[in-house]
Amino acid sequence: MADNKKADYILPGRAESYWLATTPESSYPPLSGDIHIDVAILGGGIVGITTAFLLKEAGLSSVAVIEADRIIKGVTGHTTAKVTSQHGLIYDRLISKFGKEQAQQYADSNQAAIEKIASIISSKGIDCDFVRMPAYVYASSEESIVNIRNEVDAAQSLGLPASFESDLPLPFKTYGAVLFGNQAQFHPRKYLCALAKEIEGDGCHIFEKTRALKLEGDGPIKIITNKGIIKANKVIQATHFPIHDKPGLLFQRLYQSRSYALGVRIEEPFPQGMFISAEEPIRSLRSQPARESELIIVSGDGHRTGEGNEIDHYQNLEKWIRSIYPVNSIDYHWSTQDVISVDHVPYIGQITSGNENLYIATGFRKWGMTTGTAAAMILTDMILGKSNPWEEVYNPSRFKPLESAKTFFSQVAEATKGLVGERIIPTHENASQILPGEGAIVKIEGERVAAYRDEAGVLHTLDPSCKHMGCIVSWNSAEKTWDCPCHGSRYSATGKVIKSPAVYSLSEKKVRE
């Protein structure tokens, strides 16, 4: 019965993020041949582009961004683009788990990131729909009021622009909210495409369609790519999950979460503000000026990657938005995969054991517009040899056993499940049950196979072991991709790698249907 319901549901609107749909794709050249560079940055999202921009602004003349696909198309191209230091309910927790001093660093760095974005936009005259906007975390149940009150107190104690708001301009019952004033929203691709243009030239480069395969060396680092070798004095891994995690610092301390967004047009004007629920399932709302009429971005319904059916989550969001507003149309749908650290604070800085010329930035927990910009500011200072006041809270080598032990051990258990594929139960008894356009893990001749039947009816069979560390991939029914639940690698339906940390495609597995 449930399966019939899923089969009947047609995903609404265009399968593309609004940000990608309304900006041209970039076309920077790939690397051609070997080069030597001062700073190489792997990954062309908000961290990579902003760091390269800031380094060049600071006078560095030998910086390169290396992107496996096209820039600003991954997580950054699928965000909700709220520019805010309000990251759900976090400050009360940060103070109790990290202490006041480090919570202050987190608050200050994210507030500074908002102002950094605003000042770049103003100094470069970038037209990117940047507008100041209040941000709210609202309680949709009476039980959450105490958490809201505690968060207001915690945020105020850190000097954040926080207050309690009892009367929200939303068309459903709420029980008060944490209000942060003077936050902002923008069009992230308009902003970052403008920054990218500033990077190119005078010894600095953006290389697209250039996949980093391996990092080697202890002093200057050799980056082996599919288009040549780059020797770099310093390397920043600003990919979703670092392709090189040599000391094994991170793979059990980060997990993947997929969430969903719809671009909706409603019959009435949307109130001033960006809104997010305090409770699960998360419901988030913001508006975006658009040529035809204002677009409302409704997002949330996140879950750990590889669990459940993706189409159900779009359906949940659609049902919810239709229950609170009269909807004229749903014009876009998209999803994204975020990487989250076990203690909910990103890892930014040097990987200390291994190579001191190697830096990482990851684990932005869905708030990458500000934490990604803060990462760029911190990494820029580190590369320039300057001290930065916010380094400590983001230190990749931190571990707070008392605070995060429970999450850590449950993460280890989850990762182990992924490695042995315990979570992935074959959904079809044999491949003949897979309909055109569908994929599934099936057992064929006693072996587990990732099988996809294309629209022409041809069955493609793959070894389901992820090329990063061997977790069993799972079928994403909405995006028609194979997703790895462990560290976020993604593959096309026919097994081509589309997202790191894996750098190679899934192996074919010949079977008799």
Report the interface residues with ligand FES, using CB under 6 A: 466, 468-471, 484, 486-489, 501-502
Shortest distance (Å) from residue 194 CB to ligand FES: 32
Shortest distance (Å) from residue 490 CB to ligand FES: 9
Q: Identify the residue whose tokens are 């979460």.
A: 257
Shortest distance (Å) from residue 504 CB to ligand FES: 11
* Closest to ligand FES by CB, 79 or 489: 489
Shortest distance (Å) from residue 472 CB to ligand FES: 9
What is the DSSP secondary-structure string of 1-47? -HHHHHHHPPPPSBSS-HHHHTSPPP-PPPP-S-EEEEEEEE--SHH
Could you tell me if 361 and 47 are in contact, meaning their C-beta atoms sit under 8 angstroms apart?
yes
* Closest to ligand FES by CB, 77 or 488: 488
The CA distance from 72 to 287, in Å, is 21
Of the CA atoms within 13 Å of residue 76, those in its CB half-sphere come to 28
* Closest to ligand FES by CB, 85 or 500: 500
* Closest to ligand FES by CB, 111 or 474: 474
Shortest distance (Å) from residue 468 CB to ligand FES: 3
Shortest distance (Å) from residue 417 CB to ligand FES: 12
Could you tell me if 65 and 52 are in contact, meaning their C-beta atoms sit under 8 angstroms apart?
yes
Shortest distance (Å) from residue 410 CB to ligand FES: 18
* Closest to ligand FES by CB, 383 or 472: 472
Q: How far apart are the first and last CA of the chain?
A: 27
The CA distance from 272 to 257, in Å, is 28
* Closest to ligand FES by CB, 117 or 424: 424
Shortest distance (Å) from residue 502 CB to ligand FES: 6
185 SS3 class: strand
* Closest to ligand FES by CB, 136 or 241: 241
Strands 254-266 and 327-341: antiparallel
* Closest to ligand FES by CB, 43 or 188: 43
What is the DSSP secondary-structure string of 395-463? -TT---HHHHHHHHHHHHHHHHHHHHTTT---SBSSGGGPPTT-EEEEEETTEEEEEEE-TTS-EEEE-
Q: Identify the residue whose tokens are 């582009």.
A: 49
Which phi and psi angles does 212 have, rounded to 5°? -70, 125
